[in-house]
Amino acid sequence: MAEVGLGLGANLGDRGAAIISALQALDAMASVRLTALSGVYRSAPWGITDQPDFLNMAALIETDLPPLEALRTVKALELASGRRVRERWGPREIDIDLLFYDDLELASGELILPHPGLFQRRFVLAPLVEISPDRLIRGRTPLQGLLELPGEDKGDVVLDLLETHHLALAFPGRAAPTRAGDRQSTRPTAWDGSEP
């Protein structure tokens, strides 16, 4: 089984429901196993900026599908989920990209792996860091790539707690612990008179 990183995004309709529905469809496939889900992030549009904000997240899957078949599977899933083909970087009901496929490097007319924009987009790297921070991709990790991005021109990316909560409810035990209540606190619940 190959480990594949996916980037999911949507900025039309009920964005969170579209992402959850796509993940549920993937999870129902015999040839795919969802292994990790990031939180859901809200981000400004990239490329064409006169459109609604996006929700973005990352997922790790294991699959026995070859790379081109995996790509065709997620693109068929996009269409089945109501995606209409529009201009590049334009609005979309759902978008699913293959970010990496094991350590494979591939350049065909249909698919480039790893994804050529992976290390240029904060909205891809921030969720990927949650679930695979140290994975080596072309000599860099997602965490290194995120830290190397300049602050300007790469878009604001903010964790959406409500959408992340909805995702965690749909996939118990598989979403990353991104909400404060999911982490163990080292702070006392009440002041006991001692110094911090």
Residue 50 appears among annotated catalytic residues = no
Asked if 44 and 156 touch (Cβ cutoff 8 Å), the reply is yes
> Which residue is catalytic, options 42, 83, 121, 135?
83
> Which residue is catalytic, options 97, 122, 135, 160?
97
Across the chain, the runs of DSSP E, i.e. the strands, are 2-10, 32-37, 41-43, 54-63, 95-101, 106-107, 112-113, 157-159
Name the packing angle between helices 161-170 and 15-27 (round to 10°).
Answer: 30
Residue 15 appears among annotated catalytic residues = no
> Which residue is catalytic, options 15, 42, 95, 122?
95
Residue 160 appears among annotated catalytic residues = no
- Sign (positive/negative) of CA torsion 79, 55, 43, 123? negative
| Helices marked H in the chain | 15-27, 67-80, 122-131, 142-148, 161-170
> Which residue is catalytic, options 42, 92, 121, 135?
92
CA separation for the pair 176, 178 (Å, rounded): 6
Q: Which tokens in the block code for residue 136?
A: 């080596």
Residue 83 appears among annotated catalytic residues = yes
- The C-alpha angle 60, 147, 42, rounded to 5 degrees, equals 55
Residues assigned a catalytic role: 83, 92, 95, 97
